[in-house]
Amino acid sequence: MIAQAPIGQGQDGIVRYRFSESDHLQREATDAELRWLKTFGKTYLKCAWYNEGQGEERHLRIFSENPGGDGTPETVRLHFHAGQTIAYKAAARDLDNDGDFELILSSDVDNDGRADRTDRRRVASLVREFLKLGW
């Protein structure tokens, strides 16, 4: 995901979605998916990980891992990038593979100067919405 800064007072930022696998762009999001991603985008914008203008340096890469191979994600990772560098990370882990993420690891994902419960809620919300896409 790439977020671009709001242009002025009262305007929301713009979020663009690209789906890739193994760092290869598969496709852009469809209109139907964009409607579904509305909640996801609103949560991401609260993370204040914006680009000025049309820039794409700051972006979020979110992906799931299924080392057990049973088709259910045991970990969902969020990498907040500044160019090729990962500026900070967050993750949600399903410790007993029951579909619930018992452990949320996050730093200050909303850039308010504190790593707290709000950051963990934002990560949990991003993970929940991401998994609705089936990726």
Q: Is the pLDDT of residue 10 over 50?
A: no
Average pLDDT for residues 77-86, to the nearest whole number? 92
User: For position 5, what pLDDT does the model report?
Assistant: 62
**Percentage with pLDDT > 70 across the chain:** 87
Regarding predicted confidence, which is higher, 131 or 12? 131
**Contact partners, residue 9, CB within 8 Å, separation at least 6:** none
CA–CA distances in Å: residue 120 to residues 62, 71, 115:
15, 25, 8
Average pLDDT for residues 57-85, to the nearest whole number? 88
The CA distance from 75 to 92, in Å, is 6
User: For position 135, what pLDDT does the model report?
Assistant: 56
Regarding predicted confidence, which is higher, 109 or 25? 109
